[in-house]
Structure 1
Amino acid sequence: MKQQIFTIIAFCLAPVLNAQQPPVIKLTAEKLHARVREWPYPVNGITVPTDAPALTWPATNGAGGVLPMESGSAVPADPNIGKVRYQVLLATDKNFSSGLIKSQEQAWAVYPLHQALKPGHWYWKYGYAIKNSSKWTWSPVYDFVVAAKSAGIKPSPSVREVLQRNEGAHPHLWNLHTGRETFYKNNRENPEAKKFIAVAEKLMKEPLPDESPVRRIDTVGKKGKELDGLMDRMYHDFGDRVGNPVRNLCIAYYLTKDKRFIEDAKRRALNLLAMDPDKNWATRSDFNNGAVLEALGWFYDLGYDFISPGEKELFKKVMVKRAKQIYSDLPNRFELHLCDNHVWQITLRNLAIGTVALLGEVPEAKEWFTYMYEVWSARFPVLGTTDGGWHESNGYFLVSFRSIIYLSQLFGDFSGVDYFQMPWMQNLPYYLLYSFPPSGTSTAYGDQWEDLRKGITAGYGLFADALTYKLNNPYLNWYVQEIKRAHPEFFKKTDDYLFFRLLNYKPYRSLKTASPLDLPRSRTFADIGLAAMTEDLTKVGNTICSYLISNPFGSSGHGHAGQNAFTINYKGKTLLGASGYYSQFSDRHNLLDYRNTRAYSTILADSLSQKIGEEGYGWMPRSISGKEIQYALGDASNAYGDIKSAFWLDRFKQINVKPDRTNGFGDPGVTRYRRHMLQLSGGYILLYDELEAKQAIKWTTQFHAPFYTIVADKTDNVNRQNFAVETDLGNMNASVFAAASLQMTVHHRFAEPAVNWMKLTDGNKLRQYTDQWHAGITSPPAKKFRFFTIIQIHEGKTEIVKTVNSENGLTELQVGAWKMKVQLDGNKPAVLQVMGSHSFFNYGNTPVAFGGGQLTPKIPGSSMLLEMQGNKVVRQEVVDDVPDVVKYDKQ
Structure 2
Amino acid sequence: MKNIYLLAFITLTITSFAQQSATIKLTAEKLHGRVREWPYPVNGITVPTNAPALLWPATNGTNMVKSMETGSEVPEDPNIGNVRYQVMLATDKDFKNNLITSGLQSWAVYPLHQPLRAGRWYWKYGFALKGTNQWTWSPIYDFIVDAKHANEKVSPPVADVIKRNEGPHPNLWNMNKIGEEFYRNNLQNPEAQKLVKYAEKLMLDPLPVEKPRRIIDTVGKNPLEKKKIIEWMYHGFGDMVGTPIRNLVIAYQLTKDKRFILDAKRRAINILNMDPNGLTTRDDFNSGAVLENLSWFYDAGYDFLSPEEREKFKENITFRAKRIYNHLPNRFELHVSDNHVWQITLRNLAIGTVAVINEVPEAKEWLTYMYEVWSARFPVLGTTDGGWHEGNAYFVVNFRSNIYLSQLFGDFSGIDYFKLPWMQNTPMYMLYSHPPTSASTAIGDMWENIPKINKGEAGYLEALSYRIDNPYLNWYVDEIKKTFPQYFTGTDDFLLFRLLNNNPNRKLISTSPEKLPKTRKFADIGLVAMHEDLSNADKTLSSYLTSNPFGSSGHGHASQNAFTINYKGTVLFGGTGYYSNFSDRHNLLDYRTSRAYNTILADSLGQKIGEEGYGWIARAISGKHIQYALGDASNAYGDIKSEFWLDRFKQIDLEPNKANGFGESGVTLYRRHMLQLTGGYIILYDELEAKKPVKWTTQFHTPYATIEAQKTENPNQQNFIVKTNLGNVSTNVFASAPLNIVVHDKFAETAVNWNNVNDADGKIKDFKLQWHAGITSEPKQKFRYLTIIQVKDGKTEIIKTISNNNGLFQLQIGDWEIKTQLDAEKPAGLQVLNKTLKSLFSYGNLSINFQGKNYVPKIKDSSLLLEMKDSKLDKQEAIDELPDVANYDKN
> How would you bin the TM-score normalised by the shorter chain?
over 0.9
Deviation at 1:579, TM superposition (A): 0.5
Secondary structure of 2:388's counterpart equals coil
Match of 1:301, as an amino acid?
Answer: D
Corresponding residue for 1:108?
Answer: 107
Structure 1 Cα separation of the partners of residues 668 and 325 of structure 2? 43
**Pick from 492, 498, 502: which aligns with 1:501?**
498
Deviation at 1:733, TM superposition (A): 0.5
Give runs of aligned pairs for residues 574-723 of structure 1, distance below 5 A: 574-723=571-720
Give yes or no for contact 1:609–1:665 (8 Å, CA) kept in 2. yes
Match of 2:330, as an amino acid?
Answer: N
Give runs of aligned pairs for residues 481-560 of structure 1, distance below 5 A: 481-560=478-557
Deviation at 1:577, TM superposition (A): 1.1
Corresponding residue for 1:330?
Answer: 328
Deviation at 1:469, TM superposition (A): 0.2
Corresponding residue for 2:843?
Answer: 843
Give yes or no for contact 2:13–2:19 (8 Å, CA) kept in 1. no
Give yes or no for contact 1:533–1:545 (8 Å, CA) kept in 2. yes
Give yes or no for contact 1:109–1:332 (8 Å, CA) kept in 2. yes
Match of 1:839, as an amino acid?
Answer: S
**Pick from 450, 473, 485: which aligns with 1:452?**
450
Identity %: 65
Corresponding residue for 2:854?
Answer: 854
Structure 1 Cα separation of the partners of residues 86 and 49 of structure 2? 22
Give yes or no for contact 1:747–1:775 (8 Å, CA) kept in 2. yes
Give runs of aligned pairs for residues 276-295 of structure 1, distance below 5 A: 276-278=275-277, 280-295=278-293
1:377 matches 2:375:
yes
**Pick from 408, 411, 427: which aligns with 2:409?**
411
Structure 2 Cα separation of the partners of residues 150 and 666 of structure 1? 46
Structure 2 Cα separation of the partners of residues 597 and 535 of structure 1? 27
User: Quick one: structure 1 residues 473 and 108, their matched pair in 2 at CA, closer, same or farther if it must change by over 3 Å?
Assistant: same
Give yes or no for contact 2:165–2:354 (8 Å, CA) kept in 1. no
Structure 2 Cα separation of the partners of residues 469 and 109 of structure 1? 35
CA deviations over 1:299-320 (Å, ceiling 9, x no partner): 1111111111101111111111
Give runs of aligned pairs for residues 827-842 of structure 1, distance below 5 A: 827-837=825-835, 838-842=838-842
Deviation at 1:808, TM superposition (A): 0.3
Give runs of aligned pairs for residues 206-217 of structure 1, distance below 5 A: 206-217=205-216
Corresponding residue for 2:872?
Answer: 872
Secondary structure of 1:715's counterpart equals coil
Deviation at 1:534, TM superposition (A): 0.2
User: Quick one: structure 1 residues 877 and 479, their matched pair in 2 at CA, closer, same or farther if it must change by over 3 Å?
Assistant: same
Secondary structure of 1:542's counterpart equals coil
User: Quick one: structure 1 residues 807 and 221, their matched pair in 2 at CA, closer, same or farther if it must change by over 3 Å?
Assistant: closer
Secondary structure of 1:283's counterpart equals coil
Secondary structure of 1:122's counterpart equals strand
Give runs of aligned pairs for residues 434-449 of structure 1, distance below 5 A: 434-449=432-447
CA deviations over 1:1-25 (Å, ceiling 9, x no partner): xxxxxxxxxxxx9959833332111
Secondary structure of 1:350's counterpart equals helix
Structure 2 Cα separation of the partners of residues 96 and 15 of structure 1? 32
Deviation at 1:476, TM superposition (A): 0.3
CA deviations over 1:578-630 (Å, ceiling 9, x no partner): 10000100000001000010000000011001000000000001110000000
Secondary structure of 1:531's counterpart equals strand
Match of 2:549, as an amino acid?
Answer: P
Give yes or no for contact 1:67–1:77 (8 Å, CA) kept in 2. no
Deviation at 1:221, TM superposition (A): 5.1
Match of 2:64, as an amino acid?
Answer: G
1:823 matches 2:821:
yes
Match of 1:481, as an amino acid?
Answer: D
Structure 1 Cα separation of the partners of residues 792 and 124 of structure 2? 60
CA deviations over 1:813-864 (Å, ceiling 9, x no partner): 0101100000011111001000012100000111100022110010110000
Deviation at 1:483, TM superposition (A): 0.6
Give yes or no for contact 2:632–2:670 (8 Å, CA) kept in 1. yes
Match of 1:884, as an amino acid?
Answer: D
Deviation at 1:187, TM superposition (A): 0.6
Give runs of aligned pairs for residues 244-255 of structure 1, distance below 5 A: 244-255=243-254
Give yes or no for contact 1:355–1:369 (8 Å, CA) kept in 2. yes
User: Quick one: structure 1 residues 461 and 742, their matched pair in 2 at CA, closer, same or farther if it must change by over 3 Å?
Assistant: same
Corresponding residue for 1:7?
Answer: none
1:477 matches 2:474:
yes
Q: How many residues align?
A: 877
Deviation at 1:151, TM superposition (A): 4.0
Structure 2 Cα separation of the partners of residues 577 and 217 of structure 1? 31
Give runs of aligned pairs for residues 298-447 of structure 1, distance below 5 A: 298-447=296-445
Deviation at 1:165, TM superposition (A): 2.2
User: Quick one: structure 1 residues 153 and 396, their matched pair in 2 at CA, closer, same or farther if it must change by over 3 Å?
Assistant: farther
Structure 2 Cα separation of the partners of residues 574 and 869 of structure 1? 32
Deviation at 1:377, TM superposition (A): 0.3
Deviation at 1:149, TM superposition (A): 2.1
CA deviations over 1:775-806 (Å, ceiling 9, x no partner): 00000000000000000001010000111100
Structure 1 Cα separation of the partners of residues 315 and 469 of structure 2? 43
Question: Gaps (5+ residues) in structure 1?
Answer: 1-12
CA deviations over 1:687-719 (Å, ceiling 9, x no partner): 000000000000000000011000111111111
Match of 1:844, as an amino acid?
Answer: G
Q: Which moved further from structure 2: 862-871 or 144-153? A: 144-153
Give runs of aligned pairs for residues 140-155 of structure 1, distance below 5 A: 140-151=139-150, 153-155=152-154
Structure 1 Cα separation of the partners of residues 599 and 762 of structure 2? 35
Structure 2 Cα separation of the partners of residues 648 and 439 of structure 1? 36
1:34 matches 2:33:
yes
TM-score, normalised with respect to structure 2: 0.98
Corresponding residue for 2:187?
Answer: 188
Give yes or no for contact 1:17–1:859 (8 Å, CA) kept in 2. no
Give yes or no for contact 1:50–1:152 (8 Å, CA) kept in 2. no
1:804 matches 2:806:
no
Give yes or no for contact 2:21–2:860 (8 Å, CA) kept in 1. no
Corresponding residue for 2:6?
Answer: none
Deviation at 1:152, TM superposition (A): 6.5
CA deviations over 1:56-101 (Å, ceiling 9, x no partner): 1000000111131100101111111100000000000000000000
Secondary structure of 1:366's counterpart equals helix
1:61 matches 2:60:
yes
Give yes or no for contact 1:673–1:690 (8 Å, CA) kept in 2. yes
**Structure 1 runs of 4+ off > 3 angstroms?**
13-17, 150-153, 220-223
CA deviations over 1:666-700 (Å, ceiling 9, x no partner): 11100000000000001000000000000000000
Give yes or no for contact 1:851–1:868 (8 Å, CA) kept in 2. no
Corresponding residue for 1:48?
Answer: 47
1:561 matches 2:558:
yes
Question: Gaps (5+ residues) in structure 2?
Answer: 1-11
Give yes or no for contact 1:721–1:735 (8 Å, CA) kept in 2. yes
Give yes or no for contact 1:127–1:137 (8 Å, CA) kept in 2. yes
Secondary structure of 2:810's counterpart equals strand
Corresponding residue for 2:263?
Answer: 264
CA deviations over 1:17-38 (Å, ceiling 9, x no partner): 8333321110000000000000
Give yes or no for contact 1:17–1:879 (8 Å, CA) kept in 2. no
Give yes or no for contact 2:19–2:859 (8 Å, CA) kept in 1. no
Secondary structure of 2:394's counterpart equals helix
Secondary structure of 2:537's counterpart equals helix
Corresponding residue for 1:791?
Answer: 789
Corresponding residue for 1:84?
Answer: 83
Match of 2:767, as an amino acid?
Answer: Y
Deviation at 1:168, TM superposition (A): 1.2
Give yes or no for contact 1:845–1:857 (8 Å, CA) kept in 2. no
Match of 1:334, as an amino acid?
Answer: F
Structure 2 Cα separation of the partners of residues 516 and 848 of structure 1? 33
Structure 1 Cα separation of the partners of residues 314 and 589 of structure 2? 46
Match of 1:818, as an amino acid?
Answer: W
Give yes or no for contact 1:16–1:879 (8 Å, CA) kept in 2. no
